[in-house]
């Protein structure tokens, strides 16, 4: 499980770097992802207004549940970072415990 998390975090870090280096290409990639997800899910995107920048509003299928506990991207990133930190601590403690068990416990027989 830890390897998949690290892989995902590395992918997200690469996407953040890509956004800084080539913002227009990243926007195009995000648009392609959005369009694919909308097509796959059956959502219909309706263009509204006459703005030069089209505003996408979605009309979800009637059976799509409402997100009861939706969070912001920033909060999600903070939670992911905290989870990764906690997992890293657990892995470190596990390695330390395994090392102590492998080395054996030194017990003074005089006491």
pLDDT per residue as tens digits for the range 53-75:
555 555 666 666 666 777 778 88
**Do the Cβ atoms of 20 and 13 come closer than 8 Å?**
no
**The dihedral of CA 98, 99, 100, 105: what is its sign?**
positive
Average of per-residue pLDDT across 36-40: 85
79-89 pLDDT, tens digit per residue, is: 999 999 999 99
The per-residue pLDDT for 15 is 86
The per-residue pLDDT for 41 is 84
For residue 9, give both structure tokens: 């975090």
What lies within 8 Å, CB to CB, of 84 at 6+ separation is: 5, 9
Classify residue 34 as exposed, middle or buried by CB count within 10 Å of its CB (0-12, 13-18, 19+). middle
The per-residue pLDDT for 22 is 86
The per-residue pLDDT for 103 is 84
User: 13-22, 69-78, 86-95 — which is least confidently predicted?
Assistant: 69-78
When the pLDDT of each residue in the chain is averaged and rounded to a whole number, the result is: 79
What are the structural domain ranges in the chain? 1-63, 70-104
3-state class (DSSP) for residue 110: coil
The per-residue pLDDT for 17 is 87
């Amino acid at each position: 499980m830890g390897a998949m998390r690290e892989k995902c975090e590395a992918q997200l870090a690469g996407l953040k770097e890509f956004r800084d280096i080539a913002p227009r290409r990243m926007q195009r990639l995000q648009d392609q992802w959005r369009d694919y997800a909308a097509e796959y899910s059956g959502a219909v995107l309706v263009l509204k207004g006459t703005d030069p920048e089209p505003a996408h509003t979605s009309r979800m299928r009637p059976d799509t549940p409402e997100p009861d506990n939706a969070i912001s991207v920033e909060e999600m990133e903070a939670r992911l970072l905290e989870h990764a930190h906690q997992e890293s601590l657990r892995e470190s403690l596990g390695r330390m415990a395994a090392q102590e068990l492998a080395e054996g416990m030194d017990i003074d027989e005089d006491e």
